[in-house]
Chain A
């Protein structure tokens, strides 16, 4: 039988190889036969026949030339369409006669193929099709970095560096600077915070996206320091604010305190490289320090020239970086440029997740296949008699094989249709429910490619499943099969072995998936157990923008110019919030946890560090005195600020633990002095009045860098974070707190109200999302493998009814029978679990970057095994107990 399968496969392959050469083959056959006839004719002529007679004799000897040519050609043809239709119809008829089997098989395959197709459509949109730009693989992001003692850190670019790169580098078609902007959209009933991008002129052409109306920016509009108030709208903003007005060009829009002229509208779906932008301004309006080489923040996007590669571009920028470091050692020592494909930067976080999930889902499909293969094998055992009859009636082994494959393909196709339908319905809600943000261009849909993938998966599954029962079966002889005693023969033994192997495989895969889910859950627990250094529960956070009383004329190049008083002082804001019932404490900060702040270099009195790699650096926050109490950050030494210190010229500073550990490890740090910049700079010395614990203020599970934090007294400012500790559920105070901040003043803006607990949870959202999905897959795998085990055990018990009857009749106890059956099932489970457990060591690699604080071999892997064994005992136990219910008398008569 195995030989037949192999021969059939070879034949199909050979036919496939020449499928498109049919015309040539017809000519070849003509030539071949013409040669034969010519040779024969020549032979007859040599024997003395006249040419014409010789030709006729040769033809007669050959037979019907036309018919034979056709016959020869037919050898290469695939079985005809009619016979395929006949096979399919027969398959449907067979399946209808076994509806229970068909239903289970289709459902199991639907789960497997549906889940795989759903994940594939994610993989397809994100990893295969990639970014929605023409020739997106040539788009790269340039990010300035710095070599520090701890390694290379991403920093950002300065405008003079950007200008120099663009002028000197030859690997790129062009470069554009871009950065995100927050603005306040005025003019409607309530001002609205919106996000945009400041971009330099080549930005749009470089991405290959053109405005649907109007134009991109001109070099004049982007000239530094000229500040032209022009703006390009995103499609969404244009529809929302201007009702998709086709004559919107040259109209104006009020952003913050300035009025902008609209020069263009971008197409729908385009939200910039940041994937959040609703409008664009020239980069000259970004507020970057255009003449300060040391002020770094934005990123640069570039398009590689046709000949250039990432490697060559890196090499060139390395050279340029070295030139700049030599020319400007103050600002550019140890500075380099990272050149990364745009796709890597955009999809960085999602890629490992999608890959891990795709792997998991493929395992589920494998288990589903093993399951259905098991079902088909039992069925083919039961169908021995039918097959024997068909063989006796003249069906060749190839014909039978084709019938079986058609049957399983029909099953798989039905499964695929059902599965893909479920996938298409559930996928959008899955993405919507996902706590990790997918890029907006990821909108999986029933694309032709996903459809093709599903069909290919189904056919592949169908062929494999059709082969499975044939691999073990022998062609039954009619006489044997018709004799009832044929049961339990060698074919039965062999099918049992194959089914055991399938169950072992299923158990192994299920253990692997359960262990994977276990690792993720453990990692999530560890993430949740991290002490960030503050207490996240019962804290509400709101961003507020408070404008100055009279908008100054549009000429403020620097932030410190013309400070008109704010419409509401921070002391008033605090007082108003404190009066809200349920508020325990409140404070203001220049930046909120995980909201982003910038690093500065500082120096400690008496310390002479000068190397750029180890130059002390810290993150600076301006906070009100109650800040530490509100977040419950432990004060290690000294005190918080005094109200009297809340001035711009205050010289008090609170530092985090690592500052004192670095410079004054065994001394009292209170009264020591630090300053911003180099020790010799003109900045004033600041005196340490307090030391607090290190906090994970910038990221969980770890801050992106190990730099400490410096806290300075709060001074009135336009944008701030409000941190409120509540006695009640924090989100219930949201509207009360916002009202208290605004105090009826429409020009005060409050946005992004969130509880700190939610923000902390978002930090581990990728882990939780992956863990959740993986758990679903693992549960599916567990159910499927247990169903498979149950099927095998039931079959086994049913086959041995007679044996058990004899045993019981001979005085075996029921416990003994149960033990026997359990032992029979559990050795399969044991082998499978052992294999699965061994395979878990490979898990760490797949899940690398997704798990936190969990080793390769975790206790959860063992838990997975225990869980599986418990369920498996149940799956074996039911048939085992049934075995003991056998009435010996009936069992013995049952044959």
Chain B
């Protein structure tokens, strides 16, 4: 766990990742964190706590909704679900990300 790993994601990226993960179905925070970690082969696994301010920001904005339910191991857990508004936001963010990422990598390769 070196200095490199504590570096933050690009601003706004975490929101997009959360929305993306939630587009597969309802999940609680721990599952979301694990899913991001798994899908990124552990690259994006650090500072899990940052997930929660982001989740609540999305909830205030109306992009995700939450409810309390029971987890697989029978504990009380808060589940999040993507709202219609959040789905639309995800599409836009993803499209934007694709453009920017492609542009950035083009620049990185051309020089």
Contacts and interface: CB of A to CB of B under 8 A. Distances in A.
Interface of A: 7, 10-11, 14-15, 28-29, 31-33, 35-36, 38-40, 42, 60-65, 68-69, 71-76
Contact of B76 (A11, A35, A65, A75): A35
A14 B48 contact: no
A804 to B, nearest CB: 43
B60 A76 contact: yes
Contacts of B46: 61
B29 A36 contact: yes
Interface string B63-77: 000001001010111
A11 B60 contact: yes
A33 B52 contact: yes
Contacts of B59: 14, 75
Given A36-B33, A68-B53, A71-B53, A15 B48 contact: no
B13 to A, nearest CB: 17
Contacts of B62: 7, 10-11, 14
Given A72-B53, A72-B55, 10 more contacts: A14-B59, A29-B56, A32-B52, A36-B30, A40-B48, A61-B48, A62-B49, A65-B49, A68-B50, A76-B60
Contact of A40 (B30, B50, B60, B71): B30
B28 A75 contact: no
Nearest to A61: B48
A15 B50 CA distance: 21
16 contacts: A7-B61, A11-B60, A11-B62, A14-B61, A15-B60, A32-B78, A33-B29, A33-B52, A61-B46, A62-B49, A63-B48, A68-B49, A72-B55, A73-B56, A75-B56, A76-B56
B101 interface: no
Contacts of A15: 60
Given A62-B48, A63-B47, A68-B50, A75 B78 contact: no
A65 B48 CA distance: 10
Contact residue range for chain B? 20 to 34
Contacts of A14: 59-62
Nearest to B6: A63
B38 interface: no
Interface centre among A7, A10, A38, A39 (most CB of B within 10 A): A39
Contacts of A72: 52-53, 55-56
Contacts of A40: 30, 48
| Most chain B Cβ neighbours within 10 Å, of A29, A65, A68 | A68
B48 A35 contact: no
B49 A63 contact: yes
Contacts of B60: 11, 14-15, 75-76
Q: Give 5 closest A-B pairs by Cβ, nearest first.
A: A63-B49, A68-B49, A75-B56, A71-B53, A10-B62
Interface string B18-45: 0000000000111001000000000001
A68 B47 CA distance: 10
A69 to B, nearest CB: 8
Contacts of B52: 29, 32-33, 36, 68-69, 71-72
B56 A36 contact: no
A61 B45 CA distance: 8
Nearest to A76: B60
Contacts of B77: 32, 35
A74 B56 CA distance: 9
B25 to A, nearest CB: 18
Contacts of A71: 52-53
B30 A75 contact: no
A14 B28 CA distance: 20
A726 to B, nearest CB: 78
A399 B10 CA distance: 21
Contact of B50 (A29, A38, A63): A63
